[in-house]
Amino acid sequence: MDMMLSVDYLKTFQLFRELPEKDQYYLCRDVVCTNAYLSRSFYAYDMGAEIVVYPDGTYPFITNSKPWS
């Protein structure tokens, strides 16, 4: 959801709409991904977590080292 909102927000800028489509793609890709990471990091910090936590409470970088247990 954060990524969709970021794209919509980016499209509101006149300068963005004046860019060639290829430049729009690359700028959007880089800005939206960076914004999503920053948003998730802030959310985790705000909750007092020491690592990134998604809004639903899951930890994206934690894996089970023993999948059979």
The Cα 69–Cα 64 span in angstroms is 9
Q: What is the overall mean pLDDT for the chain?
A: 78
**pLDDT digits 0-9 by tens, 30-52:** 888 888 778 778 877 887 877 77
Closest CA to 39 of 24, 55, 28, 27: 55
Domain extents for the chain? 2-47
On whether the pTM is more than 0.75, the answer is no
Read off the amino acid at residue 37.
Y
